[in-house]
Amino acid sequence: MAAVGITWECLSNLVGEEAFSARLSIRNLSDKPVAAGWALYFNTCRRVLADTVDAGYRIDHLNGDLFRLRARTGADWLPGQALEIGYVAQFWAISVTDAPLGFYLIEADGEVSDLGDPEILPFARPEQLHRNARDLLPPADAERRYRENASLRLLPRDDIGRITPRPRDACFNGARCMLAAGSELAAGPALAGEASFLHGLLQGLYGGAGARIELAIGAVDAPGPEAYLLDIGPASVRICGASAHGVFNGIQTLAQLMAPDGTLPSGRVLDAPRFAYRGMMLDVARHFSSRETVLRLLDCMACYKLNKLHLHLTDDEGWRLQIDALPELTAIGSKRGVTKDGQSLPPSFGSGADVVGSAGTGYYDAADFIAILRYAHARHIEVVPEFNMPGHARAAVLAMRARHDRLRAQGDIEGAERYLLSDPDDASVYESVQMWRDNVMCIALPSVDRFFDTVVAHVAALYREAGVPLRAVHTGGDEVPLGAWLGSPICRRLMQERGWSEVSQLHADFVERCRAILARHGLAFAGWEETALKHGAATAEGCAPAQHENTQKVEGAPLPLPKRDFDGPGFQVYAWNNAWGSGKEDVAYRLANAGYDVVLANAANLYFDLAYAKDPQEPGYYWAGFVETRHAFVFCPLDMIASAASDPMGRDIPAERLAAMARLSSEGRARILGLQGQLWGENARSRARVEYLAAPRMVALAERAWAPDPGWCAIEDPLERAAAIETDWNAFANRLGQRELPRLDRAPLAYGYRLPPPGVLREGRTIHANVALPGLPLHYTLDGSAPTAASPRHAGPVEAPAGASTYKVATFDTRGRSSRIVTLDLEQGS
């Protein structure tokens, strides 16, 4: 196996209108030459411009985010020899997420060496930190964080609220109640599951007797089936819910109020959620998340009364649920890497050449999936499965093509074509947003309908076996690339038979067929916003997109409008593509006003795969902006304009654009089902990364989805509104820092949430530091060592003594975990 050292550096983002220059340095660390004919492969989300690569080398785009570097010369690569390759790529690179990842070498004899990620050189110069001349957003360095945190103040613990999400009504008196492992627990048969869950919570307490607990279903003076009343007296606790789900919600509130020793304040809580749908989407297709990772997410969701887990089970880069009738879906579609027989998907998002152990490999068998369903159901969380089609479907397309080829070779032509998802004669030319050129199903094939029906039937059977209701299946439907189907003889023939001139008509027919299949199974249809929008359409003759009568213009760009034939019950739309400045900010409201039931999945506030801040070390994309915990908290679901932000480049949104946005009608307001946070998996290669990206943003999502309307939108004066938001954010930030994150530290959950790095300001030898979530401690060193929880606490300005050359500080949790360390060179500028 060859050993290769790799470093990568962004040189400048200012080499063109939307391009950056970079340098890749590779060194043969082996004690023998690498024979001529080698190829170095890697994944990158930034397309390399082939004609810009340094002389002597070529970099080819293969498919998706996979690229290949080769030397043009016939010379061997000698031991110790370093090669430097400069190139230019599209867009920009301002963070570690933009760097190429997952390198592997294939030598001339076919030997494969997995090399991992490169050393990424620091982003330090202005031309490395800004996307282009139009980028007005400053980098989130330590001084900027300090100034942003300066408006926060530490509040007394008793003034920040005891319960998250904030309840409708809560009052407490000075009396205390004590619970114990031996507390008597009374509950009827209908609440056996809730009683068992509560019993488990009590087992960590001391073993003596405690206050009596009663669980009951009954009338609650608050709306909806999730309402509950919690009464805590000195010697007894009673939780009455409008349903078993309401009782469970009351148990979660009880758990929040209970100290580790079992004590809790006496009082009364009356509560019910603002929105019925409060969800999280987890993408397990781009990188696989184990069953245990999903169960941990469910536990964290349950703590904050979230009630929907949207599992994104399939995409171009993976199919994650075993379907008995279609074994190739997981035999091929669940594996990523390099195999001799080619029976896997290619590496993506840095997953590497090795199939076994790769974060790109894995699937849930029936036992895994049933376990997830039952675990979620016990916590009153509904699992919404998603099978993305007709785009984002490459894993399924290739798996069914392999099935076709296998059966055809056996002479079973009819069986081969039974589930085929592609037209073998398709000459369509397209490229998806993720740079795939062959990721769309041929929706004119009857076998596509048969495939979907088979998958749905299998999934429904799994839910039945789990004893869990299945109400809806999410069909994806997003980001079908322009040009798909135009070169397919099968699609063109069907369009001609039906008298259709545009592929949008073909697509709409497919959506209706999927809806009909689901209806036959007694299920509702769910999809991303594209399934309910009519776009300017390409024609079967292959012309450019046409201006359609059902399309309006926004700043010169065609804006899709809602279809009028799919609205009504049984069609649930998830609206996502609302980056500020895109012209699509109000799509969710237009859909709701047109009659669709809408789940708000707004990217600018609720995409938790996006980076928290414009910091080179902060993982995540940022196409819709940078999404801090605060952005989820300040989101106004029914009046987004009140919480309008700048665009992803830091520019203000023109007032005339805000004024032109659709507002919700009274009927439209009733069709906003709720909110969902999205955790796409491109950058989630481990459980640690999933949990880092999810929390604490997920807690802010829960607050906004459950808590009563904070009333910000009713404040007409912008300055008064901003002040009210700041006051409420300060209280919530304190609640996170002082109560909720320490709670998430406790075993057995011990969730791996993100700790915000400190803000730091230096004035001579005086150092000031603060934190975005007041109450989290900061610890520092002055001797060059990494700070630990045992290091001095930064509780006020620190005077660096003479001789100290380095100041290091980090944020810590109650377990001793730290944030990224901030380092100041005290000699610089002194």
CATH of the domain at 42: 2.60.40.290
Question: What are the angstrom distances between the C-alpha of 760 and each of 41, 632, 639, 809?
Answer: 40, 25, 35, 9
ω into residue 619 within 30 of 0, thus cis? no
For 358-423, give the secondary structure using H, E and C. Answer: CCCCCCECHHHHHHHHHHHHHCCCEEEEECCCCCCCHHHHHHHHHHHHHHHHCCCHHHHHCCCCCC
Stated pTM of the model: 0.96
Same domain, 724 and 797: yes
Residue 53 lies in a domain: yes
* Residue 522 pLDDT greater than 50, yes or no: yes
Query: Is residue 766 assigned to a domain?
Result: yes
Q: List pLDDT tens digits, range 71-90.
A: 998 899 999 999 999 999 99
Beta pairing class for 66-71 and 57-63: antiparallel
| Average of per-residue pLDDT values in the chain | 94
Residues 492 and 462 in one domain: yes
**Pairing mode, strands 236-241 and 228-232:** antiparallel
**Domain edge (last residue) among 691, 713, 735:** 713
* 488 falls within a domain: yes
Name the token pair of 413. Answer: 């032509």
- Specify the amino acid at residue 456: V
**Amino acid 425: pLDDT:** 97
- pLDDT tens-digit profile of 376-434? 999 999 999 999 999 999 999 999 999 999 999 999 999 999 999 999 999 999 999 99
Is there a single domain that holds both residue 129 and residue 193? no
Specify whether 366 is located in the same domain as 492. yes
Whether 16 and 132 have beta carbons less than 8 Å apart is answered as no
Tell me the per-residue pLDDT of 113-144, one tens digit each, with 9 for 90 and over.
Answer: 999 999 999 999 999 999 999 999 999 999 99
Q: Answer whether residue 161 is part of any domain.
A: no
- Looking at the structure, do residues 493 and 576 belong to the same domain, yes or no? yes
Rounded to whole angstroms, the Cα distance separating 123 from 139 reads 10
- Of 211, 240, 271, the position where a domain reaches its end is 271
Task: Assess whether 657 and 797 both reside in one domain.
Answer: no
Distance of alpha carbon 380 from its chain centroid, rounded? 22
Domain membership of residue 790 as a residue range: 720-830
pLDDT band at 540 (very low <50, low <70, confident <90, very high): very low
- CATH code of the domain containing 737: 2.60.40.10
The percentage of the chain sitting over the pLDDT mark of 90, rounded to a whole number, equals 91
525 with 507, same domain: the answer is yes
Q: pLDDT tens digit string along 335-365?
A: 999 998 889 999 999 999 999 989 999 999 9
611-637 burial by CB neighbour count: b if 16+ within 10 A, else e? bbbbbbebbbbbebbbbbbbbbbbbbb
Buried b (16+ CB within 10 A) or exposed e, 794-821: beeebebeeebeebbbbbbbeeeebbee
**At 738, phi and psi to the nearest 5?**
-95, -25
Q: What pLDDT, on the 0 to 100 scale, is given for residue 17?
A: 80
Q: Given a cut of 60, is residue 100 above it in pLDDT?
A: yes
DSSP state of 307: -
Q: What is the pLDDT of residue 551?
A: 31
Q: Which helix (H) or strand (E) holds 504?
A: helix 503-520
Q: Name the strand (E) or helix (H) holding 631.
A: helix 629-633
740 and 668 in a common domain = no
Structure confidence at residue 566 (pLDDT) = 64
Looking at residue 545, its pLDDT comes to 32
Task: Please give the tally of structural domains in the chain.
Answer: 4
* pLDDT given at position 555: 37
Instruction: Establish if 358 belongs to a structural domain.
Output: yes
In 3D, which of 630, 606, 618, 526 has the Cα closest to residue 571? Answer: 526
* Per-residue confidence (pLDDT) for residue 642, from 0 to 100: 83
Beta carbons of 783 and 800 less than 8 angstroms apart: no
CB within 8 A of 261, min separation 6: which ones?
A: 205, 206
Examine the domain organization and report whether 473 and 498 are in the same domain. yes
* Cβ neighbourhood burial of 214 (10 Å; 0-12, 13-18, 19+): middle
Domain boundary among 82, 117, 135: 135
Is residue 328 within 8 A of residue 399, CB to CB? The reply is: yes
Provide Rg for the chain, Cα atoms. Answer: 28
Question: 559-570, pLDDT tens digit by residue?
Answer: 567 876 665 568
Q: Residue 760's closest CA among 206, 254, 145, 199?
A: 145
In this predicted structure, which of 452-456, 553-557, 632-636 has the lowest mean pLDDT?
553-557
Q: How far apart are CA 616 and CA 128, in angstroms?
A: 9
- Planar angle of CA 253, 254, 255, nearest 5 degrees: 90
**Does a structural domain hold residue 23?**
yes
**CATH code for position 209:** 3.30.379.10
Same domain for 788 and 682:
no
Inform me whether the pLDDT recorded for 537 exceeds 50: no
Q: What is the pLDDT of residues 235-294, one digit of tens each?
A: 999 999 999 999 999 999 999 999 999 999 999 999 999 999 999 999 999 999 999 999
DSSP annotation of 828 reads: T
